[in-house]
Structure 1
Amino acid sequence: MAAGYFPTKGQSPVDSRVASPALSSTGQAPIRSNALSSKVNSVLSASYADLEIRDALQLLDERGVENTVETRRQLRLDIQKDVIDSNGLVIKEFGHVAEQLRRIGQSIANLNQGCEEMRRHITAAHQETAPVLDEASDLMARKKDVEMKQKLLQAFSAHFVMSDDDIATLTSTAEPVNDEFFIVLNRAKQIQVDCEILLSSENQRLGLEIMEQITTNLNGAFQKLYRWIQREFKSLNLENPQINASIRRALRVLAERPTLFQNCLDFFAEAREHILSDSFYTALTGLSVTGDEDKTVKPLELVAHDPLRYVGDMLAWTHSATVSEREALEVLFISDGNEIAKGIQAGRDSEPWNKYTRDEEADTVFDGHKALNDLVDRDVAGVARVLKQRIEQVIQSHDETILVYKISNLVNFYRVMFTKILGEDSALLSTLQGLEDFGLRQFRVLMRDHIASLQTETQQAPADLGLPIFLQEGLKQLTEIMKTYDTSFTSAKSREENFKTVLEDAFEPYIRGIETMAKDMEMPSNSIFIINCLLSCKTALESYQFTADRAEELGKTVEQHSIDLIEYQYAFFLQSSGLQRLVDTLQSMGNEPDLKKLVSTEAFQPQALKDASQILDDFLPSALMDALDNLRKLQSSRLAREITEEAADRFCEDFEVVEERITQADGVAERSEDEEEEDEEILGLRALFPRTSGEIRVLLT
C-alpha cells in the first residue's frame, strides 16, 4: 500500500497501477480499472500546495519516516497502531478519574447525612425558641417606639418651649439688649411661625397655647427694645461718625412693629429738633438756652453787620446742620439696604387686622430715602421757624430795593440746594419758598413806592434829549437786579418767564414814564428822546439771555420810531428843496398823468419851475449836513445816518419821477399868448429845471 502511494523514481503512478497483476487476474477488470482511473485522477487533480497535504507531509518529516517500500506499506498500520495506543492511554486515565469521582460521591453522601442531622437539631431548637423570639421582637418594637417618642418630645421641647433664662433675657429690663437678646428673639419669632404648622394639624390646642405664650413673650421683648432705643436716643451723639451698630440692628428689628417704630422716630425727631434749635440759638446769640455764654462760638448777630451776609450766614448754618444731620442719620436707613422696609412689611403682614385702622400712606412700601428726608426735615423744623422769623425781620426792617431782592434771590439759591438734599416735599422747603415769596412781595412794594415817588415829581426831558435821571437810576438798579438773578439756580426753561414779573415792576414803569414825557414833545424831539432811552435800555437788557425777548421788543419799537424820523427827514428834504409842490401835483394826478393837463398846472409853469430850481440849487450844497443837524441829539450817530440816508433815497426816487415827467411834458408844453414876448426865445421845461437825478444822488450821499 505504501508503495502504491509513493512511486519509485522514473515510474509514474499510472504505470505502476496498470502493470499490477491484480487487474489482469480478476474477472472484473473494467470495474477496477474505472475505480483505479478515478483514484488516479483524484490523486493527479490534488494540489500539493494544499495546506492539509502540506501539514501531513510536514508531520511525516517530523516522525522521521524514510521513503522506502516497506515504510510505505506499513504507514497505515503504524498510524492505526498509534491511534489505538493513544486511545488506550486515554481510557486508562479516565479510569483514574472514575475512581476519584466514586470517592467524591461517597464524601457528598456523608455530608448530606450530616446536614440532615443538623437540620433536625435546628428545627427542634427553633420550635423551642420561637415564643421567646416573638416576645423579644415585641419588646424591641415597643422600646423603639418609646425612644422615638422621647426624641420627638425632646426635639419639640427644645424647639417650641423656651427656658426661663431665655424668657428673662427676652422680657426682663434688668437684662441687657445684646447679641444674646437678638438670638433669643429670632428663636421666638421662628417658634411663632412654626406654630402655624401645629394649628394646621390635629394638635390645635397645643399650638394655641404655645402661640399665646410666645406672643406674650414677643410683645414684652418689643416693648423692652422700644424703651431701650428711647434711652439710647437720649444719649446718642450724632457727631460721632460711627453710630452704635446695636442701635441700627435694634431699629431693623423694631421695624417689625410699625407703630413702635414710628413712635421711636417721633421721639427721636422731637429730641433732635430741640437740640438743633438750641444750637442755632447759640450760633445766633453766643448764649446757651440757659443764658450761659459760649466763648467758642462767634455770634452771627454780632459778626455779620451786613443784612445780606447775616441772612447768608443763617442759611449757611442751616444748610451745614441739615447736611450733617442727614449724613449722621443715613446709616440708620440706607446703609443696611432694605432691611427696615422688609421689617415694616413683615409687621404689617403679621397684623392684617390693623389695615383698616391705618391710613393709605401707611400701606405704601417703606422708602428709606424718603423716611430719611422726612426725619431730617422734622429735625430742622425748629431751626426753620427761627430762620423764618429772623429773615422776615431783616426784610421788613430794610427799604432798600436791591438789598431785598438780593435776599430773596439768596433764599432761592438755598432753596434749590435744600431741594437736592431733602427732595420736593419738605417743610423746610415750604418755609424757604414762603420767605422767597415774601421777599419778592416786599421788593414789588418798595419798587412801586419808588415809582410812585418819581411820578409825583415833575419830570422834563433833558436839553440834549438824553436819558433822564430817573431812568439812569432805574437802569442801574435793574442791572444790579439782573446780575443777582443771573447767579440764581433757576432752570433755563423758567428763567425768562420768572423774570417777567421783575421787569414788570422794575422796568416797565420807566418805559411808560418816558412815553408819557414824549407825548408833550414835538417831532422830531419826541422820537429822538424815546429812541435814546430805548437804545440804552436795549443795551442793558441784551447782556442777559433771560431778557433777550424784551430787548428784541425794544428793538422793534426803536424801528417804529425810526420810521417816524425817516418820514420827518423825508418831509424836510421835500420842503427845503422846493420839490414839495411838484411832488404833490404829481401824486394828485396819479401814476400816468395827462401831460397836457400837467403842464397847465401852476406848479409846472415856467416861472414856478425856475423858482423851484433855484431853491433846489440853494438847498443841495448843505442838504445832507442840514438833515443830519436835525438828528444831532440822537445819541446813535450810526442810526442818525441810516435814517437820513433812507429819507434821501426816498427823496431821490421822487426827484426821478419829477424829472421823468418834466422830460415827457417838455414836447407838449406851449407858452400862452399873454406870456409871449417878442425878444424872448422859447425855452423847454427841461431847460428851466436842469438838475438830474444823478447829480442829486451824488450830492446827497
Structure 2
Amino acid sequence: MSATANPLSAKLTKLLSSSLDDQKLRTSLTALSEFYTVNAVNARHNLRGDIERRGTEVNYLLLQELEKVNNQFLELEAEMNAMNLLCQEMQDRLDTASDKTITLLGQADALREQSNLCEVRQTILEAFLERFTLSESEITILCSTAMDVTPAFFEALEHLEEIHADCNALLITEHQRAGLEIMESMRTYRNISYEKLFRWMQTECRAMSRPDGMIEVRQVTKKAMQALKQDDQFFRSILEELVHVRRNVILRAFIDALTRGGPGGTPRPIELHAHDPLRYIGDMLAWIHQTAASEREFLESLLDNERRNRGRGQAEVKVTKASSLRLVESEETDAEVVASLMDKNLEGTARPLKSRVEQVLVSQANAITAFKISNLIRFYTSTIEKALGTEASLSKTLREISDSSMQVFYEAIGKQSADLLRRPEYPAQDLGPTFAVKEAVSQLKEIMKSFDTSFVQADEGNKDFEPILNSVVDPLFQMCEISAAQQSVFNRAVYMMNCLHYVQSALVYPFTKHKTQDLERQIQEYIDVIVEEQHTALLKQSGIAYLIQALETKDEVTPLSTLPNMDATSVSGVLSNIDHFLGSVHLDLTSRLSKIVSSRLAKTVSSKNVKMFVSAYRQLCEAIEHPLNKYEFPATILVRTADEVEMLLVED
C-alpha cells in the first residue's frame, strides 16, 4: 500500500509538517489542555466526543446571551415608537403655533430693523459730536480764567485744532453750512484759548528771573511755547516779553558779578582783579561765555529744541494727528529763534564789557600784554560767535574790541620800532647781535609762545601771524642796516648775517615757516657777499689775483704770455709762493670767519671759498697749459697742479 493511501501515514506526515509556531495550533493546544488533563487510553478514545460536547455547550450559552440582547432590542423598539408618536404630536402643535404667530414675527422683524437703523444713526451722531464739538469740560478748561493751564488744557486745545482742521473736509461735501458754523464756533473758542494761554505765559516769563539761566522749565511751559507757535503774533509777543525779562536779568547779574561778586561774596567781584589786565578781561569773557552756554541750554529747553535735535534726519514736517498742531518747525528754524533770543538777551552785556576792556587797553603800553589780551579776546570771540552767530551784537562788539586790542599791540610795536630806528645800537667788536636785537627777539619769543597756546591759530604757514611777525622783525632789521652802514662790506655782511641767524633760530613754530624761509634766503645773500669778499682777499693773499684778472680781461685771440708781466718767468715767480699760501690759508680763514656766530654758516662760507679758489686756480692752470697762450714747458711753471691744491685745501 502506498504512503498516500495509508491514513496513518498521512496523518503522521501532516502532523510532522505542522509548525509549532502556528498561532492557531498553539491556541488549540492551550484550549485542549484545560480539560484534557490525563493521557489515558479512555480519554484519547473520548477526545472527539468531549470536544463536540464542549462545542455544543458553548453554542448553547451563546444562544442564551443572544436571546437577552434580542429582548433588549424589542424593548428599545417599543420606546422608540412611543417617542415617534410624541414627536409627531409636538410637530403638529408647532405647526399650529407657527401658523398663528407668523404675523407677529413679521412685525418683530420690522421693529428689529428699525432698532438697528436707530443704533447706526446714534453711533454716527455720537461720532460726529465727538469729532466736531467740544465737551462742556473741555470748553471750561479752555475758556475759564479761573482754571490754570495744565496738561488737560493742551489736550483740549489739540482737540479743538483737530475739529477746526476736520471742518475743511465738510466744506467739500453737501454739509458746507454745518462746516462753516462749526469752524466759526471753534474759531471763537480758539481765540479765547490762545488769549488765556498768552496771559498765562506772560506770567511764566516774568517768573524766569533767575540770573544763572539754570531755570527748571516745566513740561507744561514747553507745551505752552509749542502751542503759541501756531499763532505768530502771540508767539512773537511772548518772545519779546521773554527777551525783556532775560536781558535785564543778565545785565544785572553781569554788573553784580563785576562789582559785588557771587552770593555771599563767592566768587569775589571781578573788578578786584582790575590791576591784572589778563585775568580781569579773562574773567569777564569767561562769565559771558558761561552765561551764554547756560542761556542756550535754558532756551533750548524752553523751546523743546532737544526733541528736534534727537529727530535729526527725519522729515522737517511731521504728521501726528489731523490738526494744525501737527506742524513742527524744522531744527534750523528753532536754532535761528534760539540764536536770535541769545543775541538780544546778551546784548546788554556788550556796552559795559566794551567800556571796561577799552579802559584797560588805553592804559596798556606793554606790547606782550596787549598781544596776550588780543589773543584772549580772539579766542572768546570765536567761541561766542559759534553760539550766537557772527551778526549778533555781542559778536560784533567782541570783534571791535579784538581789533582795538590788536591796534594797541601794533601801536606799542610801532613805538618800539620808532625808538630803535631813532637810536640805533651800533655793532660791537665781535659783530654779534646787539642787546637791542636780543631784547626784541626775547619779546618775539613771548609773543610766539602766546600765539601758539591761544587756540586761534590755523594750519602751518598761518597767515594770521605773518603781519605780526613782520611788524616786529622788519623794523629790527632796518635798525641793524642803519647801525651797520659805517662798517666795511665784509663786516656789515657778517653782522647782518649774525642778526638774521639769531632771529631765525627763534622761529621754531610751524606758523613761522614762511618767515624762516625768507630769512634763510637773506642769509644766503649775505653769505654770497662774504664769500665774494673772502675770495678777493684770498686771491690777493696767494698772489694770483693779477694773473686771474689778466686771464679774465684778455680777448680770445691774444696769447696770455704776451701780456705785461704774464711771461713764463713772471708767472713762475708768482706761483713759486703757492705752497706758503696753502700752509697758512686755513688759519687766515678761521681768523677772518671767527666773528660769524653760527659754526654751520662759518663752515659753509669756508667751504665755498675753497671751492671758488680751487676753481680760479684750475682755470689759471688750464690757461697756462693751453697751446694758444704759448707757454713753453708749462709743467715747470706750475709748482702745484689744481688737483694737488684742491687735495691740500680739502684735507686741511
TM-score when normalising by structure 1? 0.72
Matched, 1:269 2:243: yes
For 2:425 and 2:186, the matched residues in 1 are separated by 93
Which residue of structure 2 aligns with residue 562 of structure 1?
527
For 2:179 and 2:427, the matched residues in 1 are separated by 101
Matched, 1:387 2:353: yes
Contact 2:358–2:401, Cα closer than 8 Å, also in 1? yes
After superposition, give the CA deviation of every residue in 1:117-176 in whole Å (9 maximum; x if it has no partner): 343333333333443444445445545554665566556556654344431221222321
After superposition, the Cα gap between the structure-2 partners of 1:46 and 1:317, relative to the gap in structure 1 and judged at 3 Å, is closer
Matched, 1:225 2:197: yes
Counterpart selection for 1:440 from 394, 398, 406? 406
For 2:642 and 2:461, the matched residues in 1 are separated by 60
Contact 1:256–1:347, Cα closer than 8 Å, also in 2? no
For 1:690 and 1:103, the matched residues in 2 are separated by 159
Contact 1:474–1:510, Cα closer than 8 Å, also in 2? yes
After superposition, the Cα gap between the structure-2 partners of 1:668 and 1:400, relative to the gap in structure 1 and judged at 3 Å, is closer
Which residue of structure 2 aligns with residue 602 of structure 1?
565
After superposition, the Cα gap between the structure-2 partners of 1:525 and 1:268, relative to the gap in structure 1 and judged at 3 Å, is same
For 1:85 and 1:371, the matched residues in 2 are separated by 114
After superposition, the Cα gap between the structure-2 partners of 1:70 and 1:565, relative to the gap in structure 1 and judged at 3 Å, is closer
After superposition, the Cα gap between the structure-2 partners of 1:380 and 1:526, relative to the gap in structure 1 and judged at 3 Å, is same
TM-score when normalising by structure 2? 0.76
Q: How does 1:613-624 map to 2 (within 5 A)?
A: 613=576, 617=580, 624=586
After superposition, the Cα gap between the structure-2 partners of 1:547 and 1:155, relative to the gap in structure 1 and judged at 3 Å, is closer
AA in 2 matched with 1:131: T
Matched, 1:524 2:490: yes
For 1:58 and 1:296, the matched residues in 2 are separated by 116
Matched, 1:235 2:207: yes
AA in 1 matched with 2:509: Y
Q: How does 1:348-363 map to 2 (within 5 A)?
A: none
After superposition, give the CA deviation of every residue in 1:389-419 in whole Å (9 maximum; x if it has no partner): 4434554565654444333222112123324
After superposition, the Cα gap between the structure-2 partners of 1:284 and 1:473, relative to the gap in structure 1 and judged at 3 Å, is same
After superposition, the Cα gap between the structure-2 partners of 1:638 and 1:206, relative to the gap in structure 1 and judged at 3 Å, is closer
AA in 2 matched with 1:173: T
Counterpart selection for 1:318 from 269, 277, 288? 288
Contact 2:165–2:322, Cα closer than 8 Å, also in 1? no
For 2:487 and 2:320, the matched residues in 1 are separated by 81
AA in 2 matched with 1:379: N
Which residue of structure 2 aligns with residue 414 of structure 1?
380
After superposition, give the CA deviation of every residue in 1:273-322 in whole Å (9 maximum; x if it has no partner): 232223334445669xxxxxx99997655640354444334323322322
Structure 1 residue 493, shift from structure 2 partner: 0.9
Counterpart selection for 2:427 from 459, 462, 479? 462
Which of the pair has more CA radius of gyration? 1
For 2:418 and 2:569, the matched residues in 1 are separated by 63
Consecutive unaligned residues of structure 1, counting only runs of 5 or more, are 1-13, 18-35, 288-293, 356-361, 671-683
Structure 1 residue 365, shift from structure 2 partner: 4.3
Structure 1 residue 380, shift from structure 2 partner: 0.8
After superposition, the Cα gap between the structure-2 partners of 1:669 and 1:340, relative to the gap in structure 1 and judged at 3 Å, is closer
Residues matched between the structures, number: 634
Structure 1 residue 528, shift from structure 2 partner: 1.9
Contact 2:208–2:246, Cα closer than 8 Å, also in 1? no
AA in 2 matched with 1:46: K
Structure 1 SS opposite 2:293: helix
After superposition, give the CA deviation of every residue in 1:260-282 in whole Å (9 maximum; x if it has no partner): 33442333123312322233344
Q: How does 1:35-46 map to 2 (within 5 A)?
A: 37=5, 46=14
Which residue of structure 2 aligns with residue 508 of structure 1?
474
For 1:347 and 1:223, the matched residues in 2 are separated by 26
Which residue of structure 1 aligns with residue 145 of structure 2?
173
Shifted more, 506-515 versus 484-493: the winner is 506-515
Which residue of structure 2 aligns with residue 547 of structure 1?
512
Q: How does 1:50-449 map to 2 (within 5 A)?
A: 50=18, 105-139=77-111, 141-143=113-115, 145-146=117-118, 149-150=121-122, 153=125, 157=129, 160-192=132-164, 205-238=177-210, 239=212, 241-257=215-231, 260-284=234-258, 300=270, 303-333=273-303, 337-338=307-308, 345=317, 364-366=330-332, 371-392=337-358, 394-395=360-361, 401-419=367-385, 421-422=387-388, 426-444=392-410, 447-448=413-414
Structure 1 SS opposite 2:217: coil
Contact 2:250–2:345, Cα closer than 8 Å, also in 1? yes
Contact 2:143–2:196, Cα closer than 8 Å, also in 1? yes
Which residue of structure 2 aligns with residue 578 of structure 1?
543
Contact 2:149–2:197, Cα closer than 8 Å, also in 1? yes
Which residue of structure 2 aligns with residue 33 of structure 1?
none
Shifted more, 619-628 versus 314-323: the winner is 619-628
After superposition, the Cα gap between the structure-2 partners of 1:366 and 1:254, relative to the gap in structure 1 and judged at 3 Å, is farther
For 2:552 and 2:508, the matched residues in 1 are separated by 47
RMSD (CA atoms)? 5.2
After superposition, give the CA deviation of every residue in 1:53-84 in whole Å (9 maximum; x if it has no partner): 88778777766599879996x98889878877
AA in 2 matched with 1:535: H
Counterpart selection for 1:499 from 461, 465, 468? 465
Which residue of structure 2 aligns with residue 536 of structure 1?
502
For 2:402 and 2:356, the matched residues in 1 are separated by 13
Consecutive unaligned residues of structure 2, counting only runs of 5 or more, are none
For 2:452 and 2:67, the matched residues in 1 are separated by 132
After superposition, the Cα gap between the structure-2 partners of 1:237 and 1:77, relative to the gap in structure 1 and judged at 3 Å, is same
AA in 2 matched with 1:581: Y
After superposition, the Cα gap between the structure-2 partners of 1:202 and 1:567, relative to the gap in structure 1 and judged at 3 Å, is same
Structure 1 residue 199, shift from structure 2 partner: 6.4
